[in-house]
């Protein structure tokens, strides 16, 4: 099939993932940018298919979410396609065939979020042999399932847990062997997929991205309303209290050490779980008068982050955390924030440390010298933060914006289209 004949693109998500804000920003915004950017190798049509259970049609919250996604992504067709599992997913398959035929005779690429979604893409390829399937691996699911059970390192899994890991890895490996192309979120995860799951060197890397940099025009007004002096440095944590975030054992103790070493530093916590964070801070003996605790709507977070001076991301360098690429990194950077980050996590490029975009710390090392790292971090924060903000956002524009990242996907699509079925 000649690539100059064009193609259509269908993003597929399953298992109710469409309800998550993360999927809105990572799947639906990505699809919207593919439709909006009419440059080289752009798809002719772009759709997003939400596959699920029949009850979703009558679920009020599901329909409200669907309406919000349609409003969020005006340049694509967002379709909810549901079926009844015990009836062979009738009428899901029939509806998918109808929608596929409406896309015309040009090949369709099914960009599938995860292994479960890829099974539906493969089913459509069986029905329409000229179509292609791309598997989007957003995390190393075999290890993540163990992580949910408190097993941080897969090599320590035994018995049923080891069987679960092997089963999920086998499913991932078989999925990769069947699809036409693979994309993932970091170089470290790409290397792991090649090493353990049979991915090839053609595996593309598209990190978790955002749609735009934050203008920062509300920065001064917000800082004034928070009572932040001009010479104070706001170091922010934005997120939940989930155990893998290591707030209580790593992040809060380090932020406390920073503020005790330099009175200009103001820790900030943006979260919907401020009650839990307050308890953690009090248990750690943090001076609460110096702490900013804020809760924002999702559409307010970017402006709020831009009023800060640095973000923080401290996690244990477990397998899951080494290969994952949290969207929080892109959100911090888009707001102009350099990031204090545990070395070895986040799937970030080494060049980001050399350019001063990231400040690496090693708080989890057995011989970690916290006092030295506090001093080094304060020295790093003492630089020209205005220049650093500008430099950070320039980097974001080339790597962490969908307007840039979609072209990496398009290059993969072109290679996939040249393959024979």
At residue 414's C-alpha, the angle toward residues 412 and 416, to 5°, is 70
Predicted local confidence at residue 5, as pLDDT: 67
Per the CB < 8 A criterion, the answer to whether 384 and 99 are in contact is: no
Give me the residues paired with residue 279 across strands.
Answer: none
Give me the half-sphere count of Cα atoms (radius 13 Å) on the Cβ side of residue 338: 25
Q: What is the pLDDT along the chain (421 residues), one digit of tens a residue?
A: 334 469 999 999 999 999 999 999 999 999 999 999 999 999 999 999 999 999 999 999 999 999 999 999 999 999 999 999 888 889 999 999 999 999 999 999 999 999 999 999 999 999 999 999 999 999 999 999 999 999 999 999 999 999 999 999 999 999 999 999 999 999 999 999 999 999 999 999 999 999 999 999 999 999 999 999 999 999 999 999 988 889 999 999 999 999 999 999 999 999 999 999 999 999 999 999 999 999 999 899 999 999 999 999 999 999 999 999 999 999 999 999 999 999 999 999 999 999 999 999 999 887 778 999 999 999 999 878 888 899 999 999 999 999 999 999 999 999 999 986 5
Residue that has been written with the tokens 């909006």 in this structure: 36
CATH of the domain at 388: 3.40.50.2000
pLDDT at 243: 83
| Structural domain boundaries, residue 382 | 219-399
If asked whether residues 321 and 233 sit together in one domain, one would say: yes
Are 192 and 312 found together in one domain? no
Cα-Cα-Cα-Cα torsion 305, 310, 316, 322, nearest 10 degrees, comes to 80
What's the confidence (pLDDT) of residue 87? 86
Strand blocks (E) in 19-151:
46-53, 77-83, 108-113, 132-137
Q: Which of 177, 109, 189, 108 is nearest to 142 (CA)?
A: 189
Rounded-to-integer distance, Cα 354 and Cα 314, Å? 19
> Is residue 138 domain-shared with residue 227, that is, in the same domain?
no
Residue for token pair 């699920």 = 52
Question: Do residues 54 and 184 share a domain?
Answer: yes
**Does 393 lie in the same domain as 409?**
no
Judge if 395 and 405 occupy the same domain: no
346/236 same-domain check: yes
What kind and span of H or E run contains 400?
A: none
Cβ neighbour number for residue 145 with a 10 Å cutoff: 18
Q: Residue 2: its pLDDT value, please? A: 39
198 and 248 together in one domain: no
The confidence score (pLDDT) of residue 383 equals 78
Instruction: Note whether 128 and 233 are same-domain residues.
Output: no
**According to the model, what pLDDT value does residue 189 have?**
98
Residues 362, 412, single domain; the answer is no
Same domain for 364 and 240: yes
Specify the number of domains making up the chain.
2
Residue 421: per-residue pLDDT: 54
Predicted local confidence at residue 202, as pLDDT: 96
Q: Select from 241, 222, 234 the least CA-distant residue to 338.
A: 234
Specify whether 191 is located in the same domain as 111: yes
């Amino acid at each position: 099939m000649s690539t100059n004949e064009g193609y259509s693109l269908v993003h597929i998500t399953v298992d109710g993932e469409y309800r998550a804000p993360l999927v809105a920003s990572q799947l639906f915004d990505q699809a919207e940018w593919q439709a909006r950017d009419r440059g080289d190798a752009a798809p002719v049509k772009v759709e997003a298919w939400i596959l699920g259970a029949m009850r979703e049609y009558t679920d009020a919250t599901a329909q409200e979410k669907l309406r919000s996604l349609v409003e969020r992504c005006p340049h694509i067709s967002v379709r909810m396609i549901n079926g009844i599992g015990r009836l062979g997913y009738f009428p899901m398959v029939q509806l998918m065939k109808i929608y596929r035929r409406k896309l015309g005779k040009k090949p369709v690429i099914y960009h599938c979020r995860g292994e479960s979604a890829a099974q539906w893409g493969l089913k459509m390829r069986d029905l329409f042999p000229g179509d292609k399937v791309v598997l989007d691996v957003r995390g190393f699911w075999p290890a993540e399932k163990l992580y949910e059970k408190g097993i941080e390192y897969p090599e320590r899994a035994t018995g049923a847990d080891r069987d679960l890991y092997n089963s999920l890895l086998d499913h991932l490996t078989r999925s990769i062997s069947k699809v036409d192309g693979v994309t993932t979120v970091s170089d470290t995860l790409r290397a792991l997929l090649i090493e353990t799951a049979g991915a090839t060197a053609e595996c593309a890397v598209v990190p978790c991205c955002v749609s735009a940099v934050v203008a920062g025009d509300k920065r001064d007004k917000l800082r004034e309303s928070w009572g932040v002096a001009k010479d104070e440095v706001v170091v922010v944590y934005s997120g939940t209290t989930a155990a893998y975030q290591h707030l209580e054992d790593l992040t809060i103790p380090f932020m406390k050490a920073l503020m005790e070493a330099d009175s200009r530093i103001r820790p900030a916590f943006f979260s919907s779980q401020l009650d839990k964070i307050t308890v953690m801070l009090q248990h750690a003996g943090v001076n609460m008068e110096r702490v900013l605790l804020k809760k924002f709507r999702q559409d307010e977070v970017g402006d709020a982050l831009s009023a800060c001076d640095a973000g923080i991301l401290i996690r244990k360098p477990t397998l899951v955390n080494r290969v994952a690429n949290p969207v929080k990194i892109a959100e911090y950077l888009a707001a102009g924030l350099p990031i204090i980050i545990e070395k070895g996590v986040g799937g970030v490029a080494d060049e980001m440390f050399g350019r001063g975009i990231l400040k690496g710390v090693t708080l989890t090392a057995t011989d970690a010298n916290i006092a030295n790292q506090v001093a080094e971090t304060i020295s790093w924060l003492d630089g020209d933060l205005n220049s650093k903000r500008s430099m950070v956002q320039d980097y974001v524009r080339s790597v962490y914006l969908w307007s840039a990242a979609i072209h990496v996907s398009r290059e993969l699509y072109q290679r996939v289209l040249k393959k024979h079925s």
